[in-house]
Amino acid sequence: MADTMLHRIKQKGLQHFQTEGIGLDFTQITLEMEDGWALLTINRPKVLNALNQETLQELERALDEVERRKEIRALVITGAGEKAFVAGADITELRRIETAGEAERQATLGQTLFTRLEELPIPVVMAVNGYALGGGFELALSGDILLASDQAQFGLPEINLGVLPGYGGTQRLARLAGKNTAKYFALTGDRMDAETAYHLGIVQRVVPAANLKEEAKSLAAKLARKAPIAIRYIKQVINQGSETDLKTGLRLEASSFGVVFDSQDRVEGMDAFLEKRKPSFRGE
């Protein structure tokens, strides 16, 4: 798609993609671009940003765009409004599913999307600005770094609806915080606050609600300045290595070290250090 078709509009200091006529006519999310990184906002505040099928489809298309545009080196995901990051799958829509086969299909579609997010070659920062429940918690768990507002609340309340987490929550929470912690939250449906999530290793930083946007922006800008090829391999090695035995993981690390060492960015990083200047990484 020609760049000329992607005119950007300056708005509130952010550059919005112009979406008409290029297949990015989003209604459930917004995708904005700043210098080297993108901000994706789930934008259904009336239903606390609950995820319906249309939102998931738009998320998929947004990821296509983010991957296509090589100048995007980090992605921030947040929820619109003051109250919620994402309050889960849209229960009105969920209630209409009629067969077990359809339920399984929907769960698999969501899981595939969240795994794609987890495996994006760029870092994904989740700026959790409020309720992150059910599918919303599962979305957050597929990010690389979780920043939470001190007002954020996390939980897997699916049990209260007579179902179980279906977008990866049973698996990702157990891997991150331990089996019995995952069982506790999935079985009781209890919510945890941001401090608890921090102490469980789920959230990397808790910040005052008023500062969350700024903190997320400055983290994204910092990540966007790092060496893109090294970033991609660090993510891959940690993701894949944590699912395997130590020896296999170490082999993965060594072979990736070799691949990354072959990059021009490695020469630039080391030269910049020796010349006492800031590196300028080009992803080559």
Catalytic positions, written as ranges: 138, 158
Contact 169, 141 (CB under 8 A): yes
Helices (H), the chain: 53-68, 91-96, 100-118, 135-141, 169-177, 179-188, 194-199, 212-224, 228-241, 246-261, 264-274
Q: Is 168 in the site for ligand CO8 (CB under 6 A)?
A: no
Strand order in the sheet with 131-133: 84-86, 131-133, 153-155, 191-193
Pick 129 or 263: Cβ nearer ligand CO8: 129
63 binds ligand CO8 (CB under 6 A): no
Q: Residue 94 or residue 194: which is nearer to ligand CO8 going by CB? A: 94
Shortest Cβ 165–ligand CO8 spacing (Å) = 6
170 binds ligand CO8 (CB under 6 A): no
> How is the beta sheet containing 14-17 ordered, strand by strand?
8-11, 14-17, 29-34, 37-42, 75-79, 124-128, 145-149, 205-207
Nearest approach, Cβ of residue 140 and ligand CO8 (Å): 12
Contacting residue, 41, 75, 128, 134, with ligand CO8 by CB under 6 A: 134
Residue 227's Cβ-count burial label (10 Å; 0-12, 13-18, 19+) is buried
- 3-class secondary structure, 75: strand
Pick from 31, 33, 40, 48 the residue near ligand CO8 by CB under 6 A. 48
**CB neighbour list of residue 8: distance below 8 Å, 6 or more residues apart:** 15, 16, 17, 18, 33
Q: Which of 74, 76, 124, 135 binds ligand CO8 (CB under 6 A)?
A: 135
**106 touches ligand CO8 (CB under 6 A):** yes
Binding of residue 133 to ligand CO8 (CB under 6 A): yes
Q: Which is nearer to ligand CO8, 160 or 264 (CB)?
A: 160
- Find the binding residues for ligand CO8 in span 75-94 (CB under 6 A): 87-92, 94
Which spans of this chain sit near ligand CO8 (rule: CB under 6 A)?
47-48, 50, 87-92, 94, 103, 106-107, 110, 131, 133-135, 157-158, 161, 165-167
